[in-house]
Amino acid sequence: MNTRRRWLERGLRSTDVQEVLALVIMLVLIMLLMSQASNLFLTPRNLTNLLMDTTTVGIIAVFSTMLMISRGLDLSVAAAAAFCGILIGRMQETNGLWAGAVVAIGAGGLIGLINGFLVTYVGINPLITTLGMLSMLRGLAFVLSDGLTIPVFDLTGQRMDEYLAFAQLAEGRAAGIPYPILIMLGLFLIGLIVLRSTSYGRALYAIGGNEEASVLAGLSVKRYRMTAYILSGISAALAGILLTARLYAADPRAAPNIELTVITAVVLGGTSLSGGQGNLFGTLLGVLIIGALLNGLKLQSVSTEMQNIAQGLVLMLAVAIDQVRQGRVMFGLGTLRRWVQRKSTG
């Protein structure tokens, strides 16, 4: 009995456990506030819509967490999702939707490969690399679609069975739970296993924590980090496929600013911008917190501009929490205090 109590006390003192508990409390408080503001918030239909709205961010956030743990960054994920959707829209008439989906997955992997190569082997800053890729992919999406939304489902054509099967990606359910939600949760589960129980996951933490020591320990830093970029690109493609199925169309404007939402969720969930620290359970809570906040604001008919302001404030809060976690804010305050003391005595 005493052993169990000591194990529980030691677990509660763990920093990771404390951060997760803080996120759970934050999520509960937001849900309570939103339920007081709107009677529709806690209805089963709205909660399902809330989870469905988080699937695009959640699917991308799984592998963005892994990438950021290894001290990487990918801002091109939203544009990659839109571009992959346009590929499906363009290929549907000649090759079919499923062939387009396979090509989209391959394109996502190629996008991640290019990002990873430029960052790890060429040595270009990941922020610049992925911002450039973001701009290129958005431009390509508009060029391939002529700036127009491409309708995906044509139930009068010869491929009707294929269209109906593709639509099940968004509309199908298992045990009453929509497929996109199950896919998102499945990816989170797989990611948890990879990070906690595989050499690849342990290598990502080591690389993000101390890259030089990882090289001296014999880890292939470039290969591990490039793999993380490839997985990030594939996750963006998968999110684009599901988003296309949900929208019944391929839109070059799809997933606007999703990359910022992903980063907000990942950092809010406990992943450090400096790498070497993070967990997927915290990321999932971060995704749910942002989803609950935006869903509640929509129910209050808050404008898109105000929602963007709220999301920006949450991003700033998440970064501030990360700085406090790393001790940099306290270091800055200490430096300021010493400067004031020198001025007062001098």
pLDDT per residue as tens digits for the range 100-154: 999 999 999 999 999 999 999 999 999 999 999 999 999 999 999 999 999 887 6
Written as one string, the DSSP assignment of 287-311 is HHHHHHHHHHHHHTT--HHHHHHHH
User: Angle, nearest 10°, between helix axes 179-197 and 280-299?
Assistant: 150
Does a structural domain hold residue 3? no
Does a structural domain hold residue 334? no
Q: CB–CB of 151/93 below 8 Å?
A: no
Q: CB–CB of 61/262 below 8 Å?
A: yes
pLDDT per residue as tens digits for the range 14-59: 556 777 888 899 999 999 999 999 899 999 999 999 999 999 999 9
C-alpha closest to that of 34 among 317, 312, 292, 320: 292
SS3 174: strand
Residues 6 or more apart in contact with residue 67 via CB below 8 angstroms: 73, 74, 225, 228, 229, 231, 232
Does a structural domain hold residue 344? no
Find the CATH number of the domain harbouring 217: 1.10.3470.10
Does a structural domain hold residue 106? yes
pLDDT of residue 330: 46
Does a structural domain hold residue 293? yes
Dist. CA 138–CA 252, nearest whole Å: 7
Output the pTM of the full model: 0.87
User: Angle, nearest 10°, between helix axes 179-197 and 199-209?
Assistant: 70
How high is the mean pLDDT of the chain? 87
Does a structural domain hold residue 29? yes
Contacts within 8 Å (CB) and 24+ apart, 50-53: 50/291, 50/292, 50/295, 51/178, 51/181, 51/291, 52/178, 52/180, 52/181, 52/246, 53/291, 53/294, 53/295
Cβ neighbours around 12 below 10 Å, total? 10
* 13 against 66, higher pLDDT: 66
Cβ neighbours around 149 below 10 Å, total? 17
pLDDT of residue 343: 53
The 3-state secondary structure of 39-67 reads CCCCCHHHHHHHHHHHHHHHHHHHHHHHH
Domain of residue 318 covers 18-34+41-324
Does a structural domain hold residue 62? yes
Does a structural domain hold residue 332? no
Dist. CA 261–CA 256, nearest whole Å: 10
CA dist list (Å): 94 to 102, 140, 158, 291, 317: 14, 20, 12, 37, 48
Q: Counting beta carbons within 10 angstroms of the beta carbon of residue 147, is it exposed (0 to 12), middle (13 to 18) or buried (19 or more)? A: exposed
- Please state the domain count of the chain: 1
